[in-house]
C-alpha cells in the first residue's frame, strides 16, 4: 500500500493483489483486537490521527483459499508548524514563588507545582500564565510546566527550594486548631484554642496552594459547609494580626 497525508488525515491506497478481504491496523490503537472486534476492513481507508509522529501501519490480506499476507509499514506525520518549547523562571520569597512562563509557540499550558501527591493525574493550573504559588511547608519541590500546540507538547521542570515560616507548623503561634470530623464530605467543625479574644481569619487552601475562600472566626466553634467543594485534600490556614497556624 501507499499513503498520502493532509495534516493528520491519511489516505491509504491499497495496491495488494489476489486478495478478497483486508484488515488494517493504523498503529494508534490502545488495544489491538482481532476481527470482528477490531481493525478496519475497508479496501483503501482514510484515517485521522490524534497527533503527529511515527506509526506502524499493518495491512493483512486474505485470498479465496484462506491464505494471508501481512505488510507492516511505518509512516511519519510531520507537523507543518513549529513545535512548542517549554521554559520558565521563578523568584522565591519565603514560601511564595512567582513563576514566569518563558515558553514559545504555545497554545495551552498546565502548571504542576510539585506539592500534590497525585501528579500528573490531577490537572494543573491551566489558566494563569505567570502564576504565584504558596507552598505550605519548607522543602524542595519539582515544578513542571507542560505546554501544548497543534504540533504536540513539551515539558520543562525545575527543582525549587523554599524556606519560610511554615503555614502547617508554626511553633510560635501558641494556639491550636482542631478540625472534625476528618475526613468529611459535608460539615466540618473548627475549634480554636487559646485565641485570647483575637479575631482570626480562616482560609481554605487547595492542593495547589490556592486560597479558595476565607472568613472571619470570632467564636470558639465554627461549622464549615464543604458540600459545594470538589473532592480533594484541603488545608485550613488560621491567621490573626500577630499569629498564624
Q: What mean pLDDT do residues 65-92 have? A: 94
Q: Greatest CA separation found in the chain?
A: 93
123 contacts: CB under 8 Å, gap ≥ 6: 110
Interval 104-156: pLDDT, tens: 999 999 999 987 654 444 557 888 999 999 887 788 899 999 999 999 999 99
Residue with cell 514559545: 104
pTM: 0.57
Q: Is residue 99 over pLDDT 70? A: yes
Rg of the chain over all Cα atoms, to the nearest angstrom:
28
**Residue 172 pLDDT:** 47
Whole-Å CA distances, 155 to 64, 87, 107, 145: 51, 8, 14, 6
pLDDT, one tens digit per residue, over 152-193 is 999 999 999 988 755 544 444 566 777 777 777 788 888 777
Tens digits of residue pLDDT in 213-222: 777 776 655 7
Cα–Cα dist 131/90, whole Å:
10
The structural domains of the chain, ordered by start, are 2-77 (2.60.40.10), 88-162 (2.60.40.10), 176-239 (2.60.40)
Amino acid at each position: 500500500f501507499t499513503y498520502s497525508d493532509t495534516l493528520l488525515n491519511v489516505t491509504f491506497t491499497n495496491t495488494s493483489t489476489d486478495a478478497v478481504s483486508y484488515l488494517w491496523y493504523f498503529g494508534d490503537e490502545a488495544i489491538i483486537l482481532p476481527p470482528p472486534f477490531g481493525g478496519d476492513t475497508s479496501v483503501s481507508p482514510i484515517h485521522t490521527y490524534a497527533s503527529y509522529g511515527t506509526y506502524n501501519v499493518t495491512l493483512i490480506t486474505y485470498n479465496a483459499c484462506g491464505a494471508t499476507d501481512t505488510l507492516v509499514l511505518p509512516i511519519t506525520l510531520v507537523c507543518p508548524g513549529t513545535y512548542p518549547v517549554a521554559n520558565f523562571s521563578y523568584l522565591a520569597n519565603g514560601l511564595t514563588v512567582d513563576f514566569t512562563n518563558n515558553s514559545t509557540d504555545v497554545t495551552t499550558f498546565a502548571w504542576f507545582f510539585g506539592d500534590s501527591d497525585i501528579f500528573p493525574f490531577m490537572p494543573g493550573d491551566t489558566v494563569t500564565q505567570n502564576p504565584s504559588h504558596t507552598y505550605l511547608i519548607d522543602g524542595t519541590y519539582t515544578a513542571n510546566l507542560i505546554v501544548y500546540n497543534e504540533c504536540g507538547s513539551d515539558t520543562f521542570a525545575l527543582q525549587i527550594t523554599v524556606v519560610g515560616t511554615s503555614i502547617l507548623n508554626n511553633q510560635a503561634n501558641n494556639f491550636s486548631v482542631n478540625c472534625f470530623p476528618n475526613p468529611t464530605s459535608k460539615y466540618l467543625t473548627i475549634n480554636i484554642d487559646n485565641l485570647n479574644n483575637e479575631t482570626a481569619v480562616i482560609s481554605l487552601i487547595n492542593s495547589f496552594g490556592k486560597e479558595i475562600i476565607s472568613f472571619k472566626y470570632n467564636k470558639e466553634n465554627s461549622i464549615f459547609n464543604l458540600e459545594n467543594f470538589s473532592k480533594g485534600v484541603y488545608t485550613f490556614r488560621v491567621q490573626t494580626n500577630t499569629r498564624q497556624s
